[in-house]
Amino acid sequence: MLYLAIIFLSAFLLFQVQPLIAKLILPFFGGGAAIWTACLLFFQAFLLLGYFYSHCLTQLKSVKMQLSIHLGLIALSLLTLPIGMSLFTYVSPTTAPLLSILLLLTSSIGLPYFVLSSTGPLIQRWLTYVEVGKLPYQLYSLSNVGSLLALLSFPFVFEPLLSTTQQSIYWTVGYGIFAGLIITLLWKMSQLSLTTSVDTKPMENNHSNHGIRLIDKVLWISLAMVGVIILVATTNAMTQNIPPVPFLWILPLCLYLLTFIVSFHSPKWYVREYWFALFVLTACLALLMHFIGSQFDIVSQVIIYSCILFIACMICHGELARLKPAVEKLTLYYLFISLGGFLGSAFVAFIAQNIFEQFLEFPLAIISVFVLLALSVFIQLDKHVKKQTWLIPINIILAVSFTLGLVYLNTLFIKTNVFSERNFYGILSVKDVEINGKIQRRLIDGTTSHGTQSLASGEAKTPRSYYRKNTGVALTIEQLTRQRVLKGQSLNAGFVGLGAGTLAAYASAGDDYIFYELNPAVISAAQNYFSYLADSAANIELVQGDGRVSLQKQLDSDGSQQFDLLVIDAFSGDSIPQHLLTQEALALYFKHLKQDGILVVHISNTHLNLIPLVRGLANVLDKDIVYVKTKAKGSEEHDAQWVMLTNNQDFLNDARLKVYLSAWPRENSVEDNLIIWSDEHSDLLSVLK
């Protein structure tokens, strides 16, 4: 029973800390989807180190020596508690975000996470010393159940009910309980006369009769690697259009773990030909979603991507379960699986980002499943199982066909590209498209337009898209400019989010505009492929870095910027990152505004209803709020929603704006519907449409 409790609790803590620590660091690195990818790389790397440690430790002949070494490691890990981010000041989130995240995670949870990572294979191997001949593979399924429960409880129990600080405290207490249990086990085992020699009976479908072949090890690594690539790529796809938050990290990871549970619990659940038939259908969907997934609503996207992920991982992990070795090779088997997982995360974080301008790792991983399934069937032809040789040529043909289809469709997809760059923050493209006989240049972040400029003669200086005339931000700048002209003053404005630099077109001579932009690729695109900045009459300053972090640094070092206007327009995909819309964030913004200054927030969104949130924040800060929705007049335009928060009575009494004071959507008029986010607590589910 003690073995079961330790296995379950270690897995629970191992996976509950993942969304917790990722959410804690999210604000410092801009709130983009790549932060979770970087976190997964860390988790996979330390899982690999933990499995490697377990494998090496269990090779020692003396069981008591194994117990003593592990006891020392546990004691050392307790000295690093409680978990936290005390070393954040030593990392640089702007110049090297990936390295900074890895350093931050190592300093905050590295040693406890390492101990938890080693627990599963170590305890399973020690069980074979106590109960000789017992096959512990079902304990692997139990550990994944613990992991699954941890992930499911986070968005529905811990995140809604507890602040991040409280969650960190409870996790630390849980780790203390885990340490007590495993120390108890070490003491009990030290009282027994144990040996590392194990007499195992040959298992069905294992390789104990002839040892582990090189091709077996290659498949262990490859199947695990492709499964993780599909996991990370699916998560990236889900979070392209809405903020990357724990729920959308957790759902794919839950499905991924569920395939491990099903595959390793019983061989009856993985019927190869049935799962293959389902996979062929979902592979077609995967190719389709790669190019037009953004056309679906968020619920449809999540359902389709979830089906693709689950079925693809069932193939990978079902074949892994069929290839499991005899028990004396248990830690080696887990080590190779962990190595594959790490290589999958590293491939997405390092290699794919540098060799692919699109998220091609997603369709390529799907194609790889066909190849690996054919290879797995081939090397198992000598087993006493049902012959399925027909799967080998069919999978090879499908792999070739899908590859050709991918090349053809991708050629069509990028034919309008003028510029494309992929970096830590995602994929940025500049596309020239023809609209009503005229060429428009668009800045695309992932699948979302972040700025448009007409290339037609005489139209280059005209603001378009979400920033066109009569939108909330345009009305605000025009009204403030009139006020400043009457007073003989210029406009001092800040903009969190650069996009194509469209708002620079509204400036008058002598105005000072500061743009805060996290992504260096956006700055490069705005300067080299759009002319709004170059044509602007304002004095333009560009500050690279997360807007909130940069504003806080300026406040600490130079004091308030004394803006007349501050515009929050920093989008990650299709929405402003959560950390830019908390009570603490807005309090910071108003510290940089003059007493009569105006905060303008862009809330246009396909999937989220941010109106109750901004109204709730306005109430807390005791600010009047104006909501302006400008409907699209043609297919080339978008509905634009802006809100202005201020106590500037001259602005609020403007005749053009008064009509908007009572123009709130009817469903958002009840005060009980108001939502308030803080740095300690924010819930994306509360604003889903």
Tens of pLDDT along 467-504?
998 899 999 999 999 888 888 889 999 999 999 999 99
**Is 11 within a domain?**
yes
Mean per-residue pLDDT, 610-621:
91
**Is 452 within a domain?**
no
Q: Which residues of 329-360 are buried (b: 16+ CB within 10 A; e: fewer)?
A: bbbbbbbbbbbbbbbbbbbbbeebbeeebbbb
Which residue type, as a one-letter code, is found at position 203? Answer: M
Mean per-residue pLDDT, 312-329:
88
pLDDT of residue 286: 93
| β-pairing verdict for 624-630 and 640-646 | antiparallel
Domain end (from 362, 378, 405): 362
- Residue 396's pLDDT band, with cuts at 50, 70 and 90, is very high
> Residue 634 pLDDT more than 90?
no
For residues 186 and 224, membership in a common domain is answered with no
Secondary structure (3-state) at 439: strand
626 neighbors 648 (Cβ within 8 angstroms) = no
Which residue type, as a one-letter code, is found at position 667? Answer: E
DSSP classification of residue 505: G
Q: Which long-range contacts (C-beta less than 8 Å, at least 24 apart) are formed by 457-466? A: 460/531, 460/535, 461/505, 461/531, 461/532, 461/535, 462/505, 463/502, 463/503, 463/505, 463/506, 463/532, 464/440, 464/502, 464/637, 465/502, 465/637, 465/638, 465/640, 466/602, 466/604, 466/638, 466/640
| Residues 257, 363, 250: CA angle, nearest 5 degrees | 30
> Residue 664 pLDDT more than 60?
no
**Is 314 within a domain?**
yes
Q: Residue 575's domain spans which residues? A: 462-687
> Residue 331 pLDDT more than 90?
no
Domain count, the chain: 3
For residues 516 and 618, membership in a common domain is answered with yes
pLDDT of residue 209: 42
106 neighbors 114 (Cβ within 8 angstroms) = no
Domain end (from 144, 167, 195): 195
pLDDT of residue 194: 67
For residues 87 and 113, membership in a common domain is answered with yes
**Is 560 within a domain?**
yes
Mean per-residue pLDDT, 38-63:
89
Which residue type, as a one-letter code, is found at position 237? Answer: A
pLDDT of residue 292: 85
Q: Can you say whether the dihedral through the CA atoms of 27, 28, 34, 38 is positive or negative? A: negative
For residues 564 and 621, membership in a common domain is answered with yes
For residues 214 and 190, membership in a common domain is answered with no
For residues 143 and 215, membership in a common domain is answered with no
Percent of the chain at pLDDT > 90 equals 44
Give dist(CA 572, CA 446) in Å, integer. 9
Give dist(CA 448, CA 443) in Å, integer. 8
- Residue 116's pLDDT band, with cuts at 50, 70 and 90, is very high
> Residue 663 pLDDT more than 60?
no
pLDDT of residue 31: 63
For residues 188 and 214, membership in a common domain is answered with no
**Is 432 within a domain?**
no
Mean per-residue pLDDT, 21-41:
77
For residues 172 and 218, membership in a common domain is answered with no
**Is 69 within a domain?**
yes
Half-sphere exposure of 616 (CA within 13 A, CB side): 19
For residues 180 and 238, membership in a common domain is answered with no
Which residue type, as a one-letter code, is found at position 412? Answer: L
For residues 309 and 240, membership in a common domain is answered with yes
Average pLDDT in the chain: 85
Give dist(CA 248, CA 255) in Å, integer. 12
For residues 179 and 226, membership in a common domain is answered with no
What are 164-212's pLDDT values in tens digits? Answer: 888 888 999 999 999 999 999 889 888 877 666 544 444 444 444 456 7
- Report the chain's terminal Cα–Cα distance, integer Å: 46
pTM over 0.95: no
> Residue 87 pLDDT more than 50?
no
**Is 380 within a domain?**
no
For residues 188 and 221, membership in a common domain is answered with no
Higher pLDDT, 526 or 242: 526
**Is 97 within a domain?**
yes
Nearest CA-CA partner of 80 in 55, 129, 54, 116: 116
CATH of the domain at 588: 3.40.50.150
Mean per-residue pLDDT, 137-141:
64
Secondary structure (3-state) at 32: coil
529 neighbors 558 (Cβ within 8 angstroms) = no
Ranges of H-type helices in 571-684? 583-591, 611-621, 649-652, 655-658
> Residue 453 pLDDT more than 80?
yes
Domain end (from 139, 171, 195): 195
| Token pair of 329 as six digits | 């090779």
Mean per-residue pLDDT, 399-406:
95
Q: Which residues of 524-555 are buried (b: 16+ CB within 10 A; e: fewer)?
A: ebbbeebbbbeebebebebbbbbbbbbbbebe
pLDDT of residue 573: 63
> Residue 18 pLDDT more than 80?
yes
